[in-house]
């Protein structure tokens, strides 16, 4: 294949050649960067597109071919525009109303309250502004590593990941995302039977929560609030929104057990 500097002379349809900002090709000279290749596939019947960048032309071509097949088989769909913050809000409201269930049973108010605290305190400040479809395993792993570096113990880190995992699992089943970005995470070791039971899975979460606070967290460490708040940083700098206490299962103005 003939080349113009480091770049191929031509690329197939549906693949875009992307040069770095400092590449000489932008001034009309031969390419002197290591270009990447962005494969683009249009979702049939819509104007939405699936796209991904690759370091090689071969990888981009293979991904595009596989994506077109998966779209025809309907094994993948167009990425949802829902943010993590929006998905979290919808999950809390749906669980509280009984529309979202676990193994056919409604979530207990104590479990909903625990999930709301974990989302509000840990997940949304870091990931709330991202689209759910933009979450990747490396990005979620970086979030976990940030919690660990901040001194959070293993059990609390796992408890923070549980509601995000539940939300992503629901989105995967409904075709809103193609891959669950919480699968394969490297989580820190945990200590304490109570945290162990909560981290075993969503089905055990409701039975492990007592008194409206996450396992392993003392009464004095729980934020004394009856409102489920979304951090302002997660919604593009706008003022935080609040929902009534009834939406996150709070029973009063204090979390004291």
Give me the tens of pLDDT residue by residue for the chain, a chain 257 residues long.
Answer: 334 556 676 788 899 988 888 888 888 888 888 889 989 888 777 777 778 888 899 999 998 998 888 878 766 666 667 899 999 999 999 999 999 988 888 999 999 999 999 999 999 999 999 988 888 888 999 999 999 999 998 999 999 999 999 999 998 888 778 778 898 889 988 765 554 444 444 444 444 443 444 444 444 444 443 344 444 444 444 444 544 444 444 444 443 43
What is the H or E stretch that residue 96 is in?
A: helix 84-97
Q: What is the pLDDT of residue 146?
A: 93
pLDDT for residue 143: 94
pLDDT at res. 115: 93
181-216 burial, b at 16+ Cβ within 10 Å, e below that, comes to bbeebebbebeeebbbbbbeebeebbebbeebbbbb
Q: Where do you find CATH 1.10.150.130 in the chain?
A: 84-248
Model pLDDT, residue 46: 72
pLDDT of residue 34: 87
pLDDT at 142: 93
Closest CA to 68 of 13, 149, 150: 13
Strand segments, DSSP code E, in 58-196 are 101-102, 105-106
Strands 15-18 and 36-42: antiparallel
Report the pLDDT value the prediction gives residue 167, as an integer from 0 to 100: 93
Return the closest-CA partner of residue 52 out of 33, 70, 74, 73.
70
Q: Let me know: does 148 contact 157? Beta carbons within 8 Å.
A: yes
pLDDT in the model for residue 51: 80
User: Residue 7 has what pLDDT?
Assistant: 66
Which numeric CATH code is attached to 84-248? Answer: 1.10.150.130
């Amino acid at each position: 294949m003939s080349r113009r500097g480091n770049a191929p002379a031509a690329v197939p349809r549906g693949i875009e050649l992307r040069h770095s900002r400092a590449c000489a090709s932008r001034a009309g000279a031969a390419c002197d960067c290591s270009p990447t290749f962005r494969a683009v596939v249009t979702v049939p019947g819509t104007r939405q597109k699936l796209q991904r960048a690759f370091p090689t032309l071969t990888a981009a071509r293979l991904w595009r071919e596989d994506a077109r097949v998966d779209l025809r088989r309907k094994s993948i769909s167009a990425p949802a525009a829902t943010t993590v913050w929006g998905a979290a809000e919808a999950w809390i409201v749906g669980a509280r109303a009984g529309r979202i269930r676990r193994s056919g049973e409604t979530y207990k108010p104590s479990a909903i309250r625990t999930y709301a605290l974990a989302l509000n305190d840990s997940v949304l400040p870091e990931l709330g502004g991202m689209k759910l479809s933009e979450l990747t395993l490396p990005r979620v792993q970086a979030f976990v590593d940030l919690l660990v570096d901040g001194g959070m113990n293993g059990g609390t880190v796992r408890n923070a990941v549980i509601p995000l995992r539940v939300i992503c699992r629901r989105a995967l089943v409904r075709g809103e995302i193609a891959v669950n970005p919480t699968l394969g995470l490297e989580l820190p070791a945990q200590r304490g039977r109570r945290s162990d039971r909560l981290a075993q899975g969503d089905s055990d979460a409701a039975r492990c929560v007592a008194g409206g606070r996450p396992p392993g967290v003392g009464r004095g460490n729980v934020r004394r609030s009856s409102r489920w708040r979304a951090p302002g940083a997660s919604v593009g700098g706008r003022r935080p929104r609040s929902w009534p206490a009834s939406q996150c299962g709070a029973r009063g103005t204090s979390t004291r057990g």
